[in-house]
Amino acid sequence: MSAVKAKNVQDTEALLHSGINKVELDWEIDSDDFFHLASHWCARGAKITRSRQHFVLSVKGFAIPPND
């Protein structure tokens, strides 16, 4: 599965919360935003890797709660 591109932190958060499990950070991310995403999502089992140009945030085993 290819990564979905996000244009800012809010877009990244929305995509990850919606169940997308691989998001490419397609902007010049600053250190504050990077460490915010890393601390929040890596604590939940995410992994951050570097592609050719951008970082990719991948979440494995992210369970989507049922609509009760």
* pLDDT tens track for 1-50: 688 999 999 999 999 988 899 999 999 999 999 999 999 999 988 999 99
Count of residues making up the chain: 68
pLDDT score at 63: 57
Pairing of strands 46-50, 55-59: antiparallel
At position 48, the amino acid (one-letter code) is I
Q: At residue 12, what are phi and psi to the nearest 5 degrees?
A: -60, -50
* Cβ(54)–Cβ(25) below 8 Å: yes
Delimit the domains of the chain by residue range.
Answer: 4-59
Q: Is the pTM higher than 0.85?
A: no
